[in-house]
Chains A and B, each alone.
Chain A
Amino acid sequence: MSERSLSEKLKHYRISQGEYERITGLLGRPPQGLEWALFSALWSEHCSYKSSKVHLRKFSYRNGMTRDDSDENAGVVDIGFGEKIVFKMESHNHPSFIEPYQGAATGVGGILRDIFTMGARPIALADYLCFGDENAPRMKSLVKGVVAGISGYGNCVGVPTITGYTEYDAGYNKNILVNAMAVGLLEGSMSLASSKAEGVGNLVVYVGAKTGKDGVHGAAMASESFDQDIDSKKPNIQIGDPFLEKLLIESCLEVLSKNLVVCMQDMGAAGLTSSTFEMASKGKVGMDLHLDKVPLRDSSVTPEEILLSESQERMVLVCVPENLEAIQAVFKKWDLDAAPIGTITATKKMRLFWKGDVVTEIDPTLITDSAPRYERPFTNYQSKHKTDKLGSVWSQTPQELRETLKQNAFYKNKNWIFQQYDQRVGTRTVKDASHSLSVVRLNSHRDLAISVGCRPAFMRMDTRIGAIDAILYPALQQAIKGFKPIAVTDCLNFASPERPEVMTDFVQTCDLYAEIAQKLDAPIISGNVSFYNETEGKGIPPTPAVGLVGLKENDERMPDCVFSEPGLDVYLVQMPGVAAYAKTAEVLKKDVQFVGDLPVAYACDFVSALSQFVARARPQVSRVVGQGGLALTLDKMTANGIACVIRVDEGHMFNSTGFLFEERLYDFVFAVTRTQRAVFEKELHDLASRWNLVTHVLGTSQNLR
């Protein structure tokens, strides 16, 4: 092989010189044939986590409800009463920027497969979206396409999308973020399915859609930044078929419930390669795979394309030979293919056959476990926007400010998004996305809260405060409705890890998430890292999205999030912490700034205190104050013409722009009926003195009509 063709090959397969040398060392010779494609896919950042793995190890905290299932597709929480919750969040940023509808749709499809491959029925979806400035090129159609894609896929497959977060900021003009989270429920006699291949002589069975040339080299693409010419990056894009996914869900859960299967794995990034190599590697077994037996959509698909195709709605399972017929009967009932393509062997080698001949023979662990681990350089994090005293930056009156903010895309009502999602299919939904907290009901008469976190404006203000807030804010939103956060998933979206300043933010985030998970007793049970979200050297702001699941051990009424009746006394409760102008300052093009700090231990302990307080004090209404400060929060709490009326003199603190618009971490609003008032005030007094809180009576809820 000449020098020139080697460098071209490295470029084509996106393998670095150092990695090439490592591969040559592992094999004892240079890679050949299909090996190039295998290393290219599985050593990509997307599949191997080579830049993040050393830091993700910090997420090791587990408790009595969580096992260490870090090897599996998604994390599991055993919540007792025969119910287990399985959930995970994943990014589909790069494909969504190229083709927003299909990118978002296949993102939803992929995360659902991670859930039902474990035997859990998907019961809810959430999404976390970051778009650029409303008026940036293509942005309106990107927003529309992504929302339609999520709607088109989630609705058809019959899983309700019940919550989400949507950011608009120029930092995402050339790299939007589309993160989807799925939550599954395992109940009754269903047991957790493994992804570890076992049993020499067992069959490897391919099920689901046929293989086409979709998304070949997709994994390697998702591990690169965009340059100007995104058209040249377009592989054959993956098309999602939610109809087929629905059939796949039902048939996979049926074979699992009948105990016909040894293990199961979805085909995600790097398709058949990734799934079979990982199964074999985890089970410490070998596999003989006959690539020519893979069901194909068209006969021109080559062996390399079969290995790397990212055609959607496909799974691989392993079964004892006696069960094959029963498995095929189930898939036939649902009109799906189930083709045996190989067997488990004792060789510990993957042998790939094409029409009877061995084309590649390799130890799978070389590809899965021996991928490089990079300790990318980083520095100590330094605060950028911390000041001693918040400047008064507004010249407008509170009323003018409120109206100006509400014109911004970020603060505008986002009902138009959620109305496109079926939020009730499955008839478990207690609170849909129009509420500050989304909740589903379990058969055990307990409630499960599902939230997404990470407010990028706080990340841009200060990575430390932003990362703490990413978990704490949803945790407090759950606690203020009486829930206890039980586990966390994350989707860490960053720019290139090869730049130390990006890595610094990443490491800072990982350290904080690990600490908070432990202090909150909410383990990080699954997650995903998306690096290289950058275009022409300009990266996105750090955006480590979080999914948080909380549990309430009963199905009692939870406080409303809006003023549901007139005549309630309205209280403001303030925790000592941070006061900031973050999103508000950005929208108004002023200086971002903050004072104070958020002590992690104090804030985490306060979460459970708040949850217990709500259970005892029983407020009618409760809400954590959000971005845009008290002013916009009270605005959001106004419903059916009922609002909080504050009657004070003009010069009173309650009328100052600072009081109304500062974004304080954290303030809370409660509203209480007259009959509950005495109990509430006693409990509040206890809470305030123990946690050093400031309390105000703001006014009463009144009918404005």
Chain B
Amino acid sequence: MKIGVITFPGTNCDQDVVKMVQAHGHTVIPLWHKDRFETSAVDMAIVPGGFSYGDYLRCGALAARSPVMHSVRELASKGKPVLGICNGFQILCETGLLPGVLVRNDHGQFTDKWTEIELVQTTRFFAQSGKTRLRLPVAHGEGRFYADKAELDKIEDQGLVWFRYTENINGSLNNIAGVMNKQKNVAALMPHPERAMFEWMGGNDGFKFI
């Protein structure tokens, strides 16, 4: 598969995602934030973590309006898979491809720790290893999933919740750690599967995530 990995100014997990893509034997297509791309040239796009535009204004806000995201929207509308991780989740919410928004952790601090998440609904493409409980690390200051009552009900009713934390680490509503769109081809989560590829990293539940 040809997998596009997007770099915004301030993205800092792009090379980690590149390593993950290569470890699974796929080809990496680097995608630059200023450029649109041919949707036929990639089979999947990943929006990696980091601090795009320094997280200034609102996390993900400026990145969501970049040229490359126009093409990502187009890719998604064709039913091709799009995965967001951490800041990538925030960006996909800001573009409107995913419901909800990520706000500051309820305890107000950045948090780096291993967490356990539980699979709620499967997407069409990602995390198909068959594992229903995964141990993955998180590292974020703004990872609290939020939506107003009506939207949250809709997310739950339509079965758009991908993962829930087994222990709520940041005040996320309904313990939500990851969501997907209605078509189930766009999905994102706050934990970092690329940081849990091999036993030496502290766990390998992130392997076969893509």
Contacts and interface: CB of A to CB of B under 8 A. Distances in A.
Asked whether A and B interact, the reply is: yes
B112 interface: yes
A429 interface: yes
A20 interface: no
A429 B139 CA distance: 14
Contact of B110 (A155, A241, A427): A155
A419 B9 contact: no
B10 A246 contact: yes
Contacts of A441: 200
Interface in A383-433: 418-427, 429-430, 432
A116 to B, nearest CB: 14
Interface in A155-190: 155-158
Nearest to A158: B12
A181 B84 CA distance: 32
B197 A427 contact: yes
Given A424-B139, A424-B195, A426-B16, A243 B200 contact: no
The winner among A156, A421, A429, A555 for most chain B CB atoms within 10 A is A156
A425 B19 contact: no
A322 to B, nearest CB: 26
B83 to A, nearest CB: 17
A158 B15 CA distance: 11
Interface size bucket, B side? Answer: 20 to 34
A335 interface: yes
A280 B55 CA distance: 39
A427 B55 contact: no
B187 to A, nearest CB: 21
A430 B192 CA distance: 15
Contact of B51 (A155, A418, A424, A432): A155
Interface string B164-207: 00000000000000000000000000001011010011100000
Interface string B52-75: 011110000000000000000000
B113 interface: yes
Nearest to B17: A427
Nearest to B199: A557
Nearest to B16: A427
Contacts of A155: 51, 110, 139, 141
B28 interface: no
Interface in B92-127: 109-113
A423 B112 contact: yes
Nearest to A557: B200
A13 interface: no
Interface residues of A, number: 29
Contact of B9 (A152, A243, A422, A423): A243
A151 interface: yes
Contacts of B55: 156, 243
B201 A242 contact: no
B112 A418 contact: yes
Given A158-B13, A246-B10, A429-B201, A424 B192 contact: yes
B137 interface: yes
B54 A156 contact: yes
A587 interface: no
A392 to B, nearest CB: 42
A247 interface: yes
A155 B54 CA distance: 10
A420 B111 contact: yes
A528 to B, nearest CB: 27
B113 A425 contact: no
Interface in B7-49: 9-10, 12-13, 15-16, 19, 49
Contacts of B53: 243
Contacts of B12: 156-158, 246, 425
B135 to A, nearest CB: 13
Contacts of B109: 151, 419-420
Given A156-B10, A425-B12, A243 B112 contact: no
A151 B197 CA distance: 25
Contacts of B4: none
Interface centre among B15, B19, B49, B139 (most CB of A within 10 A): B139
A123 to B, nearest CB: 11
B88 interface: no
A419 B201 contact: no
A334 interface: yes
Query: Which of B9, B16, B137, B202 has the largest count of A CB atoms less than 10 A from its CB?
Result: B9
A334 B49 CA distance: 18
A335 B192 contact: no
27 contacts: A156-B10, A156-B12, A156-B55, A157-B12, A241-B54, A242-B51, A242-B54, A243-B9, A243-B10, A243-B51, A246-B12, A247-B9, A247-B10, A419-B109, A419-B113, A420-B109, A420-B110, A420-B112, A423-B112, A424-B112, A424-B195, A425-B12, A425-B195, A427-B16, A427-B201, A429-B201, A432-B202
Top 3 nearest A-B pairs (CB, nearest first) are A158-B12, A243-B54, A156-B51
